[in-house]
A and B are shown apart, each in its own frame.
Chain A
Amino acid sequence: MDYSPLVLSLWVSVLATTIIAIFGTLIAYVLARKRFLGRTMLDAFTTLPMILPPTVTGYYLIILLGRNGIIGNYIYKLTGLSVMFTWQAAVIAATVVAIPIMIKSAKAAIESVDLEYEKAAFTLGKTEIETFFLVTLPLAKKGLIAGLVLSFARALGEFGATIMIAGNIPGKTSTMPLAIYSAFQSGEDQLAATLVIVLTVVSIAVIYITTRISRTD
């Protein structure tokens, strides 16, 4: 059996989840704690990939990152390379589609941390960054981890946006959901079923972990 879809999927999802952990938490903190013009816009914009059909998100990513795209154009001119149809594109697709789940979950978790704790840390001489790492983060830990686990699961199952910008190149960009589709299409039912079972087991594990986290104090 070819394990490359499994290995690729895990690699892509772990990378995407790492990016999501950093930027998702940062955006969530800004949304939860800062008052600024355009905050509602940012909130709506970062939620959008959760609502849009993934193929639509993928389409926008092509407009953004394609060889003639708004950003892709510059990258191509500078390096002669395009991110399209690479495993990196799969990481971008997974990140964009899964980050709203993290932002929602992390924002709720940070908002639930009583402001008094942060105020107390300020009066005790801690800067905002110190307070974030010493107080807010540990107290919001449960919601943050739950958000990350769910984001990981979403990244692992990403199909629509991935096929649009990364394609379905066996051994290169063919992640598990894409491999299931290909295997089923080409009549390799055995392979399709195996991959389906793997993804099902991972999903059940994710649900189990998140419920455990939200239950224990």
Chain B
Amino acid sequence: MELLVNISKKLTNKNSNEFVLNAEFKCGNEMIVLFGPSGAGKTLTLECIAGLEVPDKGCIIVNGTTYFDSEKRINISPQKRNVGYLFQNYALFPHLTVSENIIFGLRSRNNVKDQIQEMLDVFEIHGLEKRYPSQLSGGQRQRVALARALITRPKILLLDEPFSSLDYIVRMRLRRDLRKIREIIKIPIVLITHNPVEAYTMADTIIVYKHGGIEQIASPKEIFSKPINENVARLVGMNNIFKGKILDIRIDEVTIQSHKKIIAPGIEGLRIGEEVTWCIRPDQVMVVREDRPLGKAVSSNLFSGKITEIISKGATYLLFIDGDFDLEIEMPSHAFERLDIKLGQIIRVSLKKSAIHIIKE
């Protein structure tokens, strides 16, 4: 394992509110995304890895080097950890030029020119060397900050909300840059985001944070299709969440009694009579056309409801219906327009069986 974190830290603010961070995870040379709402302890975790904050207890090991171990009384200073840290606002030194910023962390003054040149090439920021950070665009600042962090050949790269203040095109660019970085240096990259899409597209492994604790560690696909609990389900946008009781168990499917009966794929270890939570993504709720025969996939779990709200998101529409189940539905705009859906209309929907996810209590 290239990165092993097992730390706890208690913070008390001015109003003596307590915040407790308990984080435990390990990973290899991969892209790890710390995902969760703000105030969940993601930045604190990065700061502990970098040595800018000291955990109360636990240990942090990077690439075989113990950065921190409360039992062995090891706490390497941030200066000696050799961590590449990209701060949320990049923290480029405003009084230094781009090239002065980039070489700031270099110890030896040998081959400085070649090393700057390499960074300029990797991040395609030629011609900016003599500019000051205030004369750069947001995307350029970020690339300079990445160059500054990587020129020292860090053992690990930590990125705090790298996408948050960038527009769409620059985000795409950053994604490409990060992929490029991974080809050049094989180190763990830990990235913070509260955006589910960024988490899904960037991560090899997602670590879901909430209230200072870790809820789930898994691949993006797993997190988004099989959230471990209601918190994670909400964070990944699985917004249709209901309670129910197991009524019947067959080989590959179970029947759940909620307001109405619902058929779901079977999972290990369920008992008849057990209370469960089940959920389905808004984009997996199918609106059924009355004039068409039903396909096999949508023939079960048919319900109806009245449309109470319609929100356009551009490429997709969100519909909210009240009925057998109060549901949120996300559908492509072309489908929405073809169906000629109106507010107040009663529609039939199918909850696709294979898309239903059961969370055990």
Contact = CB atoms under 8 A, between A and B. Distances in A.
**A and B pair up:** yes
Interface of A: 114, 116-117, 119-127, 134-135, 138-139
B91 A126 contact: no
Contacts of B105: 123-126
Nearest to B104: A124
Contact of A122 (B79, B93, B152): B79
24 contacts: A114-B91, A116-B89, A117-B93, A119-B47, A119-B50, A119-B85, A119-B87, A120-B91, A122-B77, A122-B79, A123-B51, A123-B52, A123-B79, A123-B83, A123-B84, A123-B105, A123-B149, A124-B148, A124-B149, A125-B80, A125-B152, A126-B104, A127-B79, A134-B104
Contacts of B78: 119, 122-123
A172 B47 CA distance: 58
A135 B78 CA distance: 16
A125 B78 CA distance: 7
B82 interface: yes
Nearest to A131: B79
B95 interface: yes
B334 interface: no
Given A116-B91, A123-B52, A123-B83, 12 more contacts: A116-B87, A116-B89, A119-B52, A119-B85, A121-B104, A122-B78, A124-B105, A124-B148, A125-B79, A125-B107, A126-B104, A126-B105
Contacts of B88: 116
A123 B79 CA distance: 5
Interface-centre pick from B82, B84, B88, B95 (highest chain A CB count, 10 A): B95
Contacts, number: 58
A44 B84 CA distance: 40
Contacts of A119: 47, 50, 52, 78, 85, 87, 91
Given A125-B82, A127-B79, A139 B87 contact: no
Interface string B99-117: 0000011010000000000
Nearest to A123: B85
Contact of A135 (B47, B80, B93, B149): B93
A126 B87 CA distance: 16
Contact of A126 (B47, B79, B85, B149): B79
B332 interface: no
B94 interface: yes
A127 B152 CA distance: 16
Contacts of B149: 123-124
A120 B87 contact: yes
Contacts of A124: 104-105, 148-149, 152
A114 B93 CA distance: 10
Contacts of A122: 51-52, 77-79
A116 B89 CA distance: 8
B80 to A, nearest CB: 8
B1 to A, nearest CB: 22
Contacts of A121: 93, 104
A140 to B, nearest CB: 10
Contacts of A120: 85, 87, 91, 93
A110 B47 CA distance: 22
